[in-house]
Amino acid sequence: MRGIDELSQALDSGHVTSRALVEDSLARIADPSGEGARTFIKVHAEPARAAADAMDVLRKAGRAPSRYAGIPIVLKDLFDIAGEPTPAGSRVLANAPDAKSDAPVVARMLRAGFISMGRVNMTEFAFSGLGINPHYGTPTSPWDRASGRIPGGSSSGTAVAVADGMAAAGLGTDTGGSCRIPAAFCGVVGYKPTARRIPIDGVLPLAPSLDSVGPLAPTVACCAAIDSLLAGADVPVSVVPATLSGARLAVPSTVVLEGMDATVTAGFDRALSRLSAAGARIDHVRFAAFDEVPSVNARGGFAASEAYAWHRRLLATQGGQYDPRIRIRIARGEHMSAADYVDLVHARRRLIAAFDAETAPYDAVLMPTVPIIAPTIAELDDERHYNSINMLILRNTALGNFFDRCSISVPCHRPGEAPVGLMLVGDTMGDSRLFAIAAAVEATVRVA
């Protein structure tokens, strides 16, 4: 995987053209031995070629709209693209009316000159962390492909496309971990911003109280640059790594470390040792606010209640076309009363304040992104196992959404081993600081 800054320099020097990058992406997508057929719901082949030729002309004339003009990206099937329906990984909306305009986040990426290679697969309606889709197929994680391991979800196609070089980067959404989980399982970087920084207009909702839009890419620097564009910056930022010596990092002593398998435990412990050797102070802390989250969300939380509000009419008329495992999760929201929802809102506000106070002394909170390596698709055929593994996979990442934090997953595994993600959680609206810390952490925990 080449980062977008490396590709930008190659384009500037004339060592590669945008058209060549696009043709390489299309060849990888079409490769019958690859995952393109399961990764893409729609390929934008001819528009991508035309856009690449235009960006090559503009770059030669010194008029490229940004330093990233001409670089291929992918877009999760949740985003409005003018002239196309927004199926959200479903069959229910496959013939929905075409979007009249691009979602603002899509428009900002295209305005910077990035080139869309197409719409990529996802968990139906973004309601699972596994990445399994019975309608369009399930792309497999790049590790141990012969065994057919899950890519993580819901931004499954984005992660696989980036990991397999079908695009240099991509956009995902994150309501409970949907950027960070597939990033961890596919060995790339995934970012969840402080939600209010990035517009979610033109993004089919799951739970607007928790929904956010973030990038998946090869490096922290890639994610930082794309995130700044998504937030409306005219010029993408260049992240400067922080100094780890003296940094205070907290590791929760309960909940997030439970149920870790041996591979994740080894990767996480190795990362902590490297950070400590770099001068970071690591404290193991019991965060009392974590203890209340399961009971507060016991009736389904924001995801079930807000998803049901959006889906209830479709469920009544076309419920049989949903993946039954997704339909059941959405239907939980039917049983939440208005009083339950109000209690949830108040409880979240109280717990956010408590967590803010608990984490005030620290530069970031560290935990495994996911406590286990990617299971195989086949072993999740059993519905009970599907549900239990899904909840385990979402457990750590969902805390960032509930507490309204920014968060990033950085690979910390050895080459050739199962991908393992190290997650950093920053302060609300502390995104720039988190990127600086994450860039330093990335350089420290990377295992050659």
Of 268, 283, 275, 282, residue with least CA distance to 244: 275
- Domain locations along the chain: 4-230, 248-294+350-445
- pLDDT score recorded for residue 120: 99
User: Which residues of the chain have a pLDDT value below 70?
Assistant: 448
Predicted structure pTM score:
0.98
CA distance 364 to 362: 5
CATH dotted code for 248-294+350-445: 3.90.1300.10
At 315-345, the pLDDT tens digits run 999 999 999 999 999 999 999 999 999 999 9
- pLDDT score recorded for residue 446: 86
- pLDDT score recorded for residue 58: 98
Residue 18 is among the residues annotated as catalytic for this protein: no
For the record, the structure tokens of 209 come out as 């109280």
- The count of C-alpha atoms lying within 13 angstroms of the C-alpha of 176, restricted to the half-sphere facing its C-beta, is 26
Topology agreement, domain 4-230 and domain 248-294+350-445: yes
Of 154, 159, 197, residue with least CA distance to 173: 154
Residue 154 is among the residues annotated as catalytic for this protein: yes
In what side-by-side order are the strands of the sheet with 213-217?
40-43, 115-120, 72-76, 169-173, 213-217, 189-192, 407-411, 421-425, 364-368, 248-252, 281-285
Residue 407 is among the residues annotated as catalytic for this protein: no
Q: Are 327 and 315 in contact (CB under 8 A)?
A: yes
CA distances from 111 to 61, 104, 234 (A): 17, 10, 10
Residue in 8, 141, 156, 178 annotated catalytic: 178
- pLDDT score recorded for residue 448: 59
Residue carrying structure tokens 């010029």? 235
CA distance 206 to 174: 10
Residue in 154, 209, 305, 409 annotated catalytic: 154
CATH dotted code for 4-230: 3.90.1300.10
Largest Cα span, the chain: 62
Residue in 76, 155, 209, 305 annotated catalytic: 76
Stretch (H or E) spanning 108: helix 104-111
- The count of C-alpha atoms lying within 13 angstroms of the C-alpha of 278, restricted to the half-sphere facing its C-beta, is 22
